[in-house]
Each structure stands twice: as structure tokens, then as C-alpha cells.
Structure 1
Amino acid sequence: MSQALERLHSAVVHHLVNTLGWRSLRPLQQQAVAPVLDGHDALLLAPTAGGKTEAACFPVLTAMEQQRWTGLSVLYVCPLKALLNNLLPRLRDYAAWLGRRVELWHGDVPATARRHILRDPPDILLTTPESVEAMLVSANVEHQRLFGNLRAIVVDEVHAFAGDDRGWHLLAVLERLTVLAQRPIQRIGLSATVGNPEQLLHWLQGSGRGHRPATVVAPGVHAPSATPQGDIELDYVGSVDNAATVISALHRGEKRLVFCDSRQLVEQLGAALRMRGVTTFLSHASLSVDERRRAEAAFAEARDCVIVSTSTLELGIDVGDLDRVIQLDSPTTVASFLQRLGRTGRRAGSTRNCLFLALSQESLLWAAALLELWGRGYVEPVKAPLEPRHIVAQQVLALCLQEHAVGGRLWTEAWNGLAPFDRSAEPIVRHLVEQGYLDRDGELLFIGPEAERRFGHRNFMDMTAVFTAPPQFTVLAGRQEIGLIDPTLLTERSEGPRVLLLGGRSWKVTWVDWKRRRCFVEETKLKGKARWHTPGATGRSAALARAARDVLLGATPPVKLTQRAVQTLTTLREKRIPTVASEGLVITREGSTEADVRWWTWAGRKANATLAASLPEVVDGRFDDVSVRLRPDLTPQLWRTATTDAAQKLCLPEIDDRALAGLKFSVALPPQLAVDTLASRMADLDTAATVLNEPVRFTILG
């Protein structure tokens, strides 16, 4: 402790003791001081509310003073604008101890504030990768002046980036910033518990991997424990109305945060709780910014209340001192559950807790499987998506916007040789030129007419984000924006008034402005509908599917189970016992003429997609998270013939052209490369090979 404090700037230590009233640093904060001050790239791991922000900021502020950093020297990047808004006051206070400035830049920040930042850059800028990209491609930003003094980048909730295409985008943008700064930039990632911290840090290092010192700081995270700690209970309620009844009756006088894994479910539960007189607030991505902020602020100040949210409140946004976390159904990863569990137990003497309320027998099984994995101490490894060829196309176009013209042989230098933004991307660049996305003048490349047509709207703002957002209509009550809805709610046949459910309230549609995508409403007591289009999910993992199989075979997670949960789980085991076997896998046949023949792999959606594509002789094409549908005329002999050596001949899943719409910038790729990119991400070759080597028995049902 004394060694860590001795290395921090005296003003920081003074304010730790006298302003914050801290008697000591937390273990993570102590252990992070040396590697961060020594310039190491670092990954700081701790549960939610584990002090990660301070662990990064106190030594960074110290380095800023000791090494006399000037201008914009630190970027603090977050995946959510709301998280940035939440962090701003705290980081401003810390920086002010040393006379330093912190500012905020994202899509909701007024243009006047952004112009002030460009005129007089702060020492630390809170932002998103998309906003950094917008600055890089803007003709109104002097890139060298703004970013030339960068020394360090803090990436909060780095695991949330690394698991999808935003992570590849972030890495590419960081490499371009390194080129502008003309020096290596220290990279500091903050994360909750992950299954592969060293690999995650190496990923974050980008082109510095193997060339720069790297340190994982994770005190106590991997300490051995017989059972993870927490007061966890699993209950079966059977419906949203029943869940609302349980929530309204339990834990009265306490502040409760309920997680739902869809916006529709948030709306339905919110409305049901309000009908029961519960003070309820809602938060999800399709509510307006003002609506979410009002709800989160009111919730932070209230006591006897409930806030119902999607994963938007899973990350470190502060909603005050929580008493309880409740989960409807189950998240699909242990890592997500740990984030949610970490929202509680922050008061001295309190315990981290979570109550699971299963709405169906299937969801009870998945919740039990998740808790079984958690009980084993399992956490999913974070893996970057394979083959980000569409991000390569986006980055080449973005670089041409940034530089106006790029040397046809020098463009790879913008990413310091980081794959896949290196010479391996030359086929993509040739395609961009051939299709008119890029124009060539001698050795120079610059933006072509097809890129202008596809992405040029609003000064190429569509180029700055690598995720797609389905079209939605803005809902307005007078001048007040309530949020966004799926347009199918306005086009489907409706008997009587068209009524929407948004913000936990019902709204009667009075007029629709189709051209401007606006829907005008007034509040009503009629029952409304909520719906949003969700891009195709990747399904449950092999680990979770196998844990569900273990539960059916008798494994019981180390948590409290209500009597209803025990009874329902017993019924489910009796019903599903023909689909599992301890010594291998099962193929079941039900019916005679048009038999339902299923191979119960318990292997996860991706592995089953791979198996379905690799065994066309015996598979009828349909599959889910736990099984693959087989031909009704299947015989054991036909099965043996089809599966012999199949593990050495696995194929990637077939891709529907409509699925490519969810792969932004895929239109800028050669069609086959776009299909191959998506197919590689939908496959699990290793698990599929394992499944093919497992023994199988045939069973006839009923």
C-alpha cells in the first residue's frame, strides 16, 4: 500500500485521503499503479464496482504530471454514451485535483461544445470509437493538432468491444491514432471477469503485441473457491403476469433492478408492475435519451421501486445503491450474469444476490444450466469475431476520407501492419477499385462514386459505425419524444385503435408521418403492443448446451431452488430424459410415416449449424441449440455410412443472402467473401468434430 501511494502524485494522494476520505486503496488499485506508471499495456480486472476506473485514472493522472503531458493526451473510450455521461462528473473531479480538464464527445453532445473542444482540446476526452472515427473522417478536424499529443487510451468494458465487430473497429482506429501521434500509445483495458484475460490483453495491444510490455492485474479474480459467492435463488413463475405478482409482493421497501433480455419483455413487465401499484422505471435502447435519463435519475433517488432494463444497465452505469437484482429467464453467458450480479452487494455487510424468475420450462432449464456453469467457476473466453473483411473495407474507405488520397502501395502503413488490415487485404482493395468504391489516379486512391452513393449521406456519417440499426419510427407525444418502435406495429392489420406500448405506458396512434418516420400518439388506458426487430441471434454456446444436458441428467446448481422450481425441473427431466444419456448421444424417432427424427447433440447453435451443413445425406436442414433434425427414413446403416470420417470433412454453414444485411459494409466485399465471412462466424468446427466422435444410440419414442 505504502509503495503504491509513494508512486502516486502527492496531490492525488492528498485528495484520496482528504476529499474522498479513503483510508486505503483497493487491491486492484494498489497493484495497477506500478505497471500503469511504468507504461505497460495493461488489463485491469475486477467485478462491477471494483474500482477499475480509479485504478486506471490515478496512475494516468500521475504520469500526466510527472511526464508533463500537454494537449489531448488521454482518450477514455466506452461502449455506451450513457456510461460516458455517468463517468464525466467523477473524472472531472479527479482531473481538477491537478488542474486538468476532462470533456465529453459523442453523438448527443451539442455542436457548440464540440467546436470548443476543437479550439481548446482538454487533457482527457471521454468518447466512443464511433465518435473518434467521425473526427478522423471530418474535414473540420485538424487531426494532427487534436490527436498528435496522445499518450494513453483507457478502454472501459473492453470485453464488450472485443466480442463483436466494434472491437475490430476500435483496434483499427487505435492504430490510425498511433500513426498520427507518431509514438506508441499505452493501452489500458478495464473489464469484468473473463475466461481468457491474457489473450484479451494481447488482442487489445494490436500491432504492439510482442513488442510492448503487457500486464494483467486481477487480484483475487482467479482465487480458488469451492463455490462462487452470492445469494442466488431460482424460481419458476410461468408468465410475465406471475413474475409481476412475485416482484410486487417480495422485497417491499427495497430498490430492485430487473433484467430482461428483450425490449418487448421490459415493456410488458413494466406495464404489469405499474398495474399492481409498483413504482416502476424502464430503460432500454429504444426509449428516448431523456426518457432513460429521467428514469435512471428518479430510480437513483428513490427507495421502494423497481427499474426494468435490458442489458443497457448491465455495464457500470450508476443507478444508486441497489438492494436486489432480479433476472427474468436467463442471460446467455456467465460473464453477463456476473456483471448483473455485481450490481448488488456494494454496501458494507450486504451480499451479492440475484433472483431468477423463469417464465417457461425451457427457460428454467437454461437458467439452471447457466447457474451450473457459474457454480463450477466457469467464465466464457472473449473471442474476436473471425474474418472481419467488411471492417477492412470500411477502414480503407475511412482512411481515404481522412487523408483525402492514399498511396496505393502505402495504405497498409496506416494500421502498422496489423492483420487483417495488412497486405492480406489487397483483394478487398482491388474489389473496391473495380466496383467504384475507390477511384485510382496513378498511385493514389480516393473515395469513388459508389462509396458516395452508398455511404455519403450526411457527410459519410454512416461510415463511422460498424453495426447496423434496423429502421424505426420515432414516437412523439406532442413535442416530447418517447422512443422508437418497429414499423411493423404501424403496418399490421389492427381492429379498432392502433395502440403501442412504450415506456411502460400505452399510447394511441393519432397520426403517422411516413416520410419522416414519425408517429404521433396520445396516452390511453387501452392495452398496447410492443415489438422490435432483433437481428438473428447466434444462439446458445456449446458449454451452456452441455450444462443443460448435465442438468437433465441430474446435476443441480449450487443455489436455492424454490419448491416450484424443483417440481418443474423434476417434470422437465421426466419429459426430456429420452433425449439424454450419460454414455453418449441419442437419436430419437417419434411417429411412423412422417417421423420426427432428431439427433440430440446438446452442442450449441453454431456446432449444430456446422453439422447440418456437413451431413446433407441424413439431415433435413433444421436445427436449434440442442438438436439436429434428421431424415424420417434414417436407418442405423445410413447413419454410419454418412458419419464415417465426417469429422475430417466438415463444411461451413450455408448462409441465406438475407442474413448478409446484418453484416454492415458487406456490400463493399466480393459476394463470395461476404458469404464466407458470415459462414465462418456461424460455425463451430471443433465442437462439431467432437460431437461426431461421440457414441450414438437410437431410441423410439412412445
Structure 2
Amino acid sequence: MSERERKEKAESECRLGAKFEKSGKIDEAIEAYLRAVAEYPAHKKANYRLAELYEEKGELIKSSHHMDMAMHGGPANIPKYPKKAPVKKAVEPVPDKRKIPTIEPKITYSRKIDPQNEERLNTREDKKVRGLLPLTGDNFFGGFESLKEIQRKAVPLILQGRNVLAISSTASGKTEAVFAPLAERLIQEGWLGLSIIYISPTRALISDIRQRLETVLSPLGIRVAQRDGDIKDFDESNPQEVLVTTPESLDSMICWKKHQLNSVKVVVIDEVHMLDGSYRGDQLQILLRRLRREVGIKFNVCAMSATIGKPERTAARFMPSPNIVESKGGRGIEYHITPTLEDSLIWARQNNCSKILVFCNSPKDAETIASNTLKYYFPADSVRVHHGKLEKEMRKETEAFLREAKTAVCACTSTLEVGVDIGDVDLVILYSIPKSVASLAQRIGRSNRRGSYISVAAVGKGGLADYYRNVLDTILFGKFEPADETFDPSVIIQQILSCLASGSRGFGFFSDIFKDICSTEDLKSIVTHLMDKKYILEENGMLSEGPAAKGLGPKIYSNIAGYEQNLVIEASTGMPIGHVELPVDNIFILSGQAWSVKKKEENKIIVEKVDRRADVAKFSTYEQNGAFHNMLPDQLKSRKLITEVK
């Protein structure tokens, strides 16, 4: 956006603020003026009105800040000499905004929960495990005095070439537990070409995961590539050793790049609990079978997960002969729930927190609070922003600043949830409610990684405060519900079309890859239905791609559905509350109230209110149907297939 466009947008917001003022809606006016300043910090009228309004409200720190901006054309031009706050009437002297405010923060609720099973030092075992990693141990663990329990358990098994499911809490060292021994094997055994495929549960996390892996693998001479809908930098002529990708992109590679997969030795699945029980997890199950059947390779599977129920069932769906290793250790949590962001920031200053992440859900929110609220309580040169709309160079600069600066406060989005190395963080502030329990776990896990306690401040009132209290009380020690042992039949449609896109197949091929998932009778009904609709053709006992399927193009590799609005209904009254989009957690916020899902019906979610006594120690996610659901025969649209996990 050009400077002229930003000025025009700021002017529009300023006019809106003036209208709100005339009608007596002061809070709405302040919000409009703040949006104007966020668009164009040098907007004199908006800053002047903010100074006046904040003075009338008695918020003198903010009043002084905006008067400075009005007089000097924006924060960058404010003189460095100390100034007194401009006043229109007799008021108390305005304190310097860089000093800890004397006002006490409002704390709705605070709690400190000790680790359930605190990590214990085991020097002898640490020495033994480090000795197994002569080439890679220092790169992965050189900066740590001791290893984590999950690392002691997983490293020897992975070095032996076992299939492993590593289960532990957030920020407990699972990635290092898996990749240190894999990197050791890659070097010592001389793996060539593409050797490790890393499956990310979401596209949003891929870039961060890739950067995190590159940081530790590049010094070892191991290259990392990325392949998703946005970036495809995999070098086919000289393949990188590690590829970070999604199930959908792997699907496309199996169809058209089989020769690039011949050298794969290991498939790593990150946060498998986020995939298991969903149509994307079902798709990945079949892709692993196709790697063995179509590409003809033998490979190990290493998966990582938060604490889940029935882990042996989850493991069996993604790997043969699984070895499950679980760490009961973890960190405690100290959290504070405040009604406003200002209260959280005052608490942070009073408790000498010098490195803070403030998580927002949108770049606009991050920019707004960074340019206004954060600079009331911290020096302007210590405030940064980090979100996906910034250029890569700007994000890198912010990350370097967070690593090196003594005082740093960053308003950020999900781009800093995982993967990026920013050093130790004293406090995580949840300004916006995370979109899922998994996202909340990732965000709070950024706090105090080297300490025994996660430190969190959550901003919320009423039902939102109750939601935070319930989730934060249980998230470290609760379990994700075990996935239903069913299989989304829309995946069968998608996988049949994906397979046929690269060549003809016999019916026996599909009977094999869907063994123990789909009965012969159901599979025949699906194939017949697709033939009737011209999606597939049959000739001499061989099935091939039909004209209707060719019209789908690259859509056949993804079963991700569009957004689906679901009506939320309160169970006790039958009253509709509003709409939400799937996927949604089993506890969520709507209309300022926390709700717990009782059951999911067709386009409806039946809920009950969550009070402070609610048991939410188990977390689950409610998904929608896959994109190919409507192409199923009518008799299969209303049911899931029961898998027979061996």
C-alpha cells in the first residue's frame, strides 16, 4: 500500500472516530483513532484526539505518548530528552513510561502448578547416549547440560533402525530425540539422495520447521528442502537429503516423482495426534502403503506426539512393529489471567520480564498493539512485530533481535509458535485466543524453555477467562482423546483417482492398499459408482482415469475441504448460539462463553456450557468430511469405515 493510500485510510478512520465521539461512544472512538495511527503514525489529528481522550480517562501515560506523536510527527521523531506530559488542568505529574507503573495490575486468577513428574538428571545414561552420537551429538545437545528423558529413550531405538512413536509434552525435545540419531545414521551409513521425508501436520508450520532443521543440520552438511503449495525448492537433479512436506504434496510426488523417492530411508511424522482420526491422517496411512507397494522401498517411520490415549493403536495405523517411548516428565506452569493487555504488561514490568512474546491471531492486531500499547510500557526500540505478511528479511531481522537483545517485546502471530530459534522467553502473553488447543500448547511452550515452569499471561474476561482457566489447568497433564478407529471413505475416492492419474491399475491393487480398511463389497460399490459417473474407465479388467477425473486436475491430490459453517446449539435449551467453522476443539469460545461439545450432527454441533468445575483434561478435535465426500455412493455417505488395526 502506498503512503497516499495509507494516509487516506487513516483519514477515513479518523472521521469515523469523530462520529463516535459526537455520539458519546468514547471507547469506539479510541479504537478508530488507534486504527488511524496504526495506518499512518504521523496523523496529527488522530494522535491529538487520543491524547485528549486518554487524559480525560486518567490514562496519562498514553496521553503523553500520543501528544508527543502529535507534536513531532510520529514515534520515530520524538526527541530523546525527558518531557513533561502536556496537561489542560491540574493533574498529578506523569511518570516516565519506561519506569514500572505504580498502578497495580488487575489479576482475575493466578495459579502455579508444579511439574507432575519433574525431569530427573541421569548423568550416567546421558554419557552413554551422547557416546552413541559421536558425529551429531554436539550439534543437537552441546548447549544443554543434560538430556531429556524422551531423548534417552528414543535415540538408541532409532539408531537400531526401529519404528518409533515418541510421546511427550510440548517443548520436551522430541524433535532432537528423533533427528539426532537420524542424522547420525545418515552420515555414518552414507545415505545418498533424498533420505528423510518429514511430514508436517499443517502447511502453516512447514517454513518454521524447515528453518529449525536447517539451523542444526546445515553445519553437518545435510541439506533441507521444502515442498508445499507455496514453495517447491526440492532439487531433482541433486536432491537434498531431507524434505519437509505435507501429505498432499507427498501424494503428488508418489504419482509423478517416484524415482525421486527410491532412496528414502525414513518418514518422520510430526505431531501425529493432529493427523490421526482425520481424513488427512487417513490419506497419509494409504500413502505410506503406496510407498512400499508402488515405489517398492523399505523404510522406517518415526512419529512424534503429545500425550494421547491408546498410543499403541495410533502407532499401528502408521507403522509396522512400533516401539512406543513415552516421557512422563515435563514442566510446570505459572499463569495469570488478566482482563486487559495493559494489566498483563504491567505485571510483566513489575516482575522484570525482559523478553516477551505477545501472540495475536492476525497481522493487523500485531501491528496495532506493537505501534501503540506495547510502546506505552516498554522502550520503543525494544518493540518488534513478526507475522507472515512481513518480508522474509524483516522476519529474520526480528528473530535475530529476539535472540540477542536483553529487552525485547514482540507482537506476533502463529509464525513464532514453533520452530524459530529466538532464545529463551520470559513470558508468553495470549492476547488473542488461539484457534485450537494444539495451537495454544505450541504458543505457551515457547516460554522459559530452559526452566522448570512455563510462564503465561492470558487476556480474557467472563467465559473466555473460564476457558483459559480450564485449559491451562489441564493442558500440560491432560491427554488428547484417542482417535476414533474409523476411516473416512472419501479418502478411498481421492486415492483411487490419485493412483489412476499416473497409470492403469487392476482391482487387486486397490484391494491390497485398502486391506483391513474397506471391505471388498464396499470397494466394488465405490468403483462401480465412479465408473457410472465417468471418473474411471474399465477395459480388459484394468481401471484407468476417466474424462470426469481429468477435469479435476491437481485437485485429486488433496482431500482438504473448504470452510463449512456449523450451527452451534445449546443442549439444555435447544437454542441456537451461532456458527463455527470446522475443525473445532471439544472446548471452544463463542459469544463470550466457553462451550463443551456433546455430539456432532449433520451441520450441527450440540454443546453445553463449561463452568469452572468442568473436566477438560482430554482434548479432541471435530473435523468435517473430506472434499471427495459428495462423490461417494449414497449408502456410504452416512457412515465411516471401521478399521481393523492389527
Residue 149 of structure 1 is matched in structure 2 by 263
In structure 1, how many angstroms separate the alpha carbons of the residues matched to 2:315 and 2:473?
Answer: 28
Instruction: Select 2:449's aligned residue among 343, 346, 351.
Output: 346
Aligned residue identity for 1:464: Y
Residue 561 of structure 1 is matched in structure 2 by none
Residue 217 of structure 1 is matched in structure 2 by 325
Shift in alpha-carbon separation, 1:308–1:389, aligned structure 2, 3 A:
farther
Q: After superposition, what is the alpha-carbon deviation per residue over 1:565-624, rounded to whole angstroms, capped at 9, x for unaligned?
A: xxxxxxx9xxx9xxxxxxxxxxxxxxxxxxxxxxxxx993343x56x99xxxxxxx9954
Give 1:343 shift. Answer: 1.1
Give 1:281 shift. Answer: 5.3
Residue 61 of structure 1 is matched in structure 2 by 183
In structure 1, how many angstroms separate the alpha carbons of the residues matched to 2:449 and 2:284?
Answer: 31
Instruction: Check conservation: 1:75, 1:152, Cα contact below 8 A.
Output: yes
In structure 1, how many angstroms separate the alpha carbons of the residues matched to 2:270 and 2:409?
Answer: 27
Report the secondary structure of 1:440's partner residue. strand
Aligned residue identity for 1:254: S
Shift in alpha-carbon separation, 1:311–1:421, aligned structure 2, 3 A:
farther
Give 1:330 shift. Answer: 5.1
Matches within 5 A, 1:228-307: 229-235=332-338, 237=339, 242-244=340-342, 246-247=344-345, 250-251=348-349, 254-260=354-360, 262-263=361-362, 267-268=364-365, 270-276=367-373, 278=375, 304-307=407-410
Instruction: Check conservation: 2:336, 2:457, Cα contact below 8 A.
Output: yes
Residue 526 of structure 2 is matched in structure 1 by 428
Give 1:154 shift. Answer: 1.4
In structure 1, how many angstroms separate the alpha carbons of the residues matched to 2:178 and 2:469?
Answer: 36
Residue 419 of structure 1 is matched in structure 2 by 517
- Are positions 1:626 and 2:630 aligned together? no
Instruction: Check conservation: 1:32, 1:55, Cα contact below 8 A.
Output: yes
Give 1:399 shift. Answer: 0.8
Report the secondary structure of 1:445's partner residue. strand
Instruction: Check conservation: 1:407, 1:444, Cα contact below 8 A.
Output: yes
Instruction: Check conservation: 1:47, 1:342, Cα contact below 8 A.
Output: no
Instruction: Check conservation: 1:28, 1:55, Cα contact below 8 A.
Output: yes
Give 1:329 shift. Answer: 6.5
Q: After superposition, what is the alpha-carbon deviation per residue over 1:150-171, rounded to whole angstroms, capped at 9, x for unaligned?
A: 2211112222222533222222
Residue 488 of structure 2 is matched in structure 1 by 388
Tell me how large the CA RMSD over aligned residues is.
4.1
Instruction: Give unmatched runs, 5+ long, in structure 2.
Output: 1-124, 565-578, 611-622
Give 1:625 shift. Answer: 3.5
Residue 128 of structure 1 is matched in structure 2 by 246
In structure 1, how many angstroms separate the alpha carbons of the residues matched to 2:405 and 2:562?
Answer: 33
In structure 1, how many angstroms separate the alpha carbons of the residues matched to 2:354 and 2:441?
Answer: 21
Give 1:189 shift. Answer: 0.8
In structure 1, how many angstroms separate the alpha carbons of the residues matched to 2:245 and 2:485?
Answer: 23
Shift in alpha-carbon separation, 1:665–1:309, aligned structure 2, 3 A:
farther
Residue 695 of structure 1 is matched in structure 2 by none
Residue 378 of structure 1 is matched in structure 2 by 478
In structure 1, how many angstroms separate the alpha carbons of the residues matched to 2:530 and 2:149?
Answer: 51
Shift in alpha-carbon separation, 1:365–1:408, aligned structure 2, 3 A:
same
Give 1:174 shift. Answer: 1.6
Shift in alpha-carbon separation, 1:288–1:148, aligned structure 2, 3 A:
same
Shift in alpha-carbon separation, 1:296–1:393, aligned structure 2, 3 A:
farther
Residue 558 of structure 2 is matched in structure 1 by 465
Shift in alpha-carbon separation, 1:317–1:174, aligned structure 2, 3 A:
farther
Aligned residue identity for 1:540: N
Shift in alpha-carbon separation, 1:625–1:7, aligned structure 2, 3 A:
same
Instruction: Select 2:318's aligned residue among 204, 208, 214.
Output: 204
Shift in alpha-carbon separation, 1:623–1:535, aligned structure 2, 3 A:
closer
- Are positions 1:407 and 2:453 aligned together? no
Report the secondary structure of 2:453's partner residue. coil
Residue 449 of structure 1 is matched in structure 2 by 547
Give 1:378 shift. Answer: 2.3
Instruction: Check conservation: 2:344, 2:429, Cα contact below 8 A.
Output: no
Instruction: Give unmatched runs, 5+ long, in structure 1.
Output: 223-227, 472-532, 546-571, 577-601, 614-620, 628-658, 681-702
- Are positions 1:188 and 2:281 aligned together? no
Give 1:416 shift. Answer: 6.6
When normalised by structure 2's length, the TM-score is 0.64
Q: After superposition, what is the alpha-carbon deviation per residue over 1:638-669, rounded to whole angstroms, capped at 9, x for unaligned?
A: xxxxxxxxxxxxxxxxxxxxx98x74122322
Instruction: Check conservation: 1:88, 1:104, Cα contact below 8 A.
Output: no
Aligned residue identity for 1:83: D
Residue 80 of structure 2 is matched in structure 1 by none
Report the secondary structure of 2:458's partner residue. strand
Instruction: Check conservation: 1:334, 1:373, Cα contact below 8 A.
Output: no
Give 1:188 shift. Answer: 0.4
Report the secondary structure of 1:230's partner residue. strand
In structure 2, how many angstroms separate the alpha carbons of the residues matched to 1:389 and 1:669?
Answer: 8
- Are positions 1:397 and 2:497 aligned together? yes
Aligned residue identity for 1:465: S
Shift in alpha-carbon separation, 1:676–1:465, aligned structure 2, 3 A:
same
How many residues are aligned here? 479
Q: After superposition, what is the alpha-carbon deviation per residue over 1:459-488, rounded to whole angstroms, capped at 9, x for unaligned?
A: x1x2333324569xxxxxxxxxxxxxxxxx
Residue 581 of structure 2 is matched in structure 1 by 535
Shift in alpha-carbon separation, 1:43–1:672, aligned structure 2, 3 A:
same
When normalised by structure 1's length, the TM-score is 0.59
Report the secondary structure of 1:11's partner residue. coil
In structure 1, how many angstroms separate the alpha carbons of the residues matched to 2:537 and 2:393?
Answer: 43
Q: After superposition, what is the alpha-carbon deviation per residue over 1:268-304, rounded to whole angstroms, capped at 9, x for unaligned?
A: 4642442235366556678887776676566556564
- Are positions 1:177 and 2:279 aligned together? no
Shift in alpha-carbon separation, 1:24–1:273, aligned structure 2, 3 A:
closer
Q: After superposition, what is the alpha-carbon deviation per residue over 1:232-260, rounded to whole angstroms, capped at 9, x for unaligned?
A: 1223x1xxxx4356437743763322335
Structure 1 range deviating more: 189-198 or 392-401: 189-198
Shift in alpha-carbon separation, 1:673–1:303, aligned structure 2, 3 A:
farther
In structure 2, how many angstroms separate the alpha carbons of the residues matched to 1:357 and 1:409?
Answer: 57
Shift in alpha-carbon separation, 1:622–1:370, aligned structure 2, 3 A:
closer
Matches within 5 A, 1:601-640: 604-607=596-599, 609=600, 623-626=606-609
Give 1:539 shift. Answer: 5.5
Q: Percent same amino acid at aligned positions?
A: 24
Give 1:394 shift. Answer: 0.8
In structure 2, how many angstroms separate the alpha carbons of the residues matched to 1:423 and 1:67?
Answer: 46
In structure 2, how many angstroms separate the alpha carbons of the residues matched to 1:250 and 1:218?
Answer: 35
Report the secondary structure of 1:50's partner residue. coil
- Are positions 1:674 and 2:637 aligned together? yes
Report the secondary structure of 2:543's partner residue. strand
Aligned residue identity for 1:373: T
Shift in alpha-carbon separation, 1:673–1:625, aligned structure 2, 3 A:
farther
Residue 91 of structure 2 is matched in structure 1 by none
Report the secondary structure of 1:352's partner residue. strand
Matches within 5 A, 1:324-363: 324-328=427-431, 336-347=439-450, 351-358=453-460, 360-363=461-464
Instruction: Select 2:217's aligned residue among 92, 95, 103.
Output: 92
Give 1:388 shift. Answer: 0.9
Report the secondary structure of 1:162's partner residue. coil
Instruction: Check conservation: 1:333, 1:380, Cα contact below 8 A.
Output: no
Shift in alpha-carbon separation, 1:384–1:132, aligned structure 2, 3 A:
farther
Aligned residue identity for 1:318: D
Report the secondary structure of 1:425's partner residue. helix
Report the secondary structure of 1:53's partner residue. helix
Shift in alpha-carbon separation, 1:324–1:15, aligned structure 2, 3 A:
closer
